[in-house]
Amino acid sequence: MNAASRALERSHVAPNNIGRVKIPGPHLVATYKAGREIYGQGDTVTKYYQVKTGTVRVYRLLEEGRRQIVSFHFAGEVFGVEAGSTHRFFAAAITETTLAVFRQHTVKEHSRELLGFALDGMARAQEHLLVVGRQCAVERMAAFLLDLSHRLGRLRQLRLPMSRQDIADYLGLTIETVSRVMTKLKERSIIALQDTRAIDIMKPGALRSLCQ
């Protein structure tokens, strides 16, 4: 297949095209304490949300205590836009979070702006799928850390808002594996840890070559 020979650069989902965009129209601002649920699976869709500060996780609970986190959302990012009339996932604040809340009264008249969010969400889910479907544990962590550093402002120093359990459930791993991979990256001096949540990316190049 000649297609294979084409340049396949890692495509990060355009992080800035809706980044800190101010969405026009009236909205409320709501604050959620860490751990608070924003909406639940089965709830009627009436609003969508833009993170002002904090971090949100969108996830599904499966039987036997399994959980899959579908996406994290940071400042500027939009979530809660869905295909049907009821939410198919749960959303919760990870840290204390403030949200701009928009009414979704007439999806039709907002379709132009919503389209961007939907396409972005689709792209994110697809890239995520790639990582979870075809990469090993180290590659997943590398991809995750790079994505995070991009979305939090291309920083070398990261402060993780989420727990190891959240990371594990996002990457389709166990908490123990996440921990072991962290240790391995630390041993190779690819990252450094101030404490468990404060990560320093020492060798971004090494991370990049790991995940692709």
Those residues whose C-beta lies under 8 Å from the C-beta of residue 146, and which sit 6 or more positions away, are 12, 204, 207, 208, 211
Q: Can residue 132 be called a binding residue for DNA (CB under 7 A)?
A: no
Q: Can residue 37 be called a binding residue for a copy of itself (CB under 8 A)?
A: yes
Q: Which of 27, 67, 180, 184 binds a copy of itself (CB under 8 A)?
A: 67
Number of alpha helices (DSSP H) and beta strands (DSSP E) in the chain: 5, 11
Q: Can residue 69 be called a binding residue for DNA (CB under 7 A)?
A: no
Q: Any idea what DSSP says for residue 6?
A: S
Task: Report CA dihedral (46, 67, 165, 90) to the nearest 10 degrees.
Answer: 10
For DNA, the closer CB: 70 or 173: 173
Q: Can residue 102 be called a binding residue for a copy of itself (CB under 8 A)?
A: no
Tell me the H-state helices in 107-194.
111-134, 137-151, 164-171, 175-187
Closest approach, Cβ 212 to a copy of itself, in A, equals: 7
What is the amino acid identity at position 122?
M
Across-strand partners of 72? Answer: 57
Closest approach, Cβ 145 to DNA, in A, equals: 13
In this structure, are strands 90-93 and 37-39 parallel, antiparallel, or unpaired?
antiparallel
What is the amino acid identity at position 39?
Y
Site string for DNA, 175-194 (x = CB under 7 A): xxxxxx-xx---------x-
**Contacts to DNA by CB under 7 A:** 136-138, 163-165, 172-180, 182-183, 193, 195-197
**Contacts to a copy of itself by CB under 8 A:** 1, 3-4, 6-8, 11, 13-14, 17, 37, 40-42, 60-63, 66-68, 70, 81-84, 88-90, 107-108, 111-112, 114-116, 118-123, 125-130, 132-134, 171-172, 212
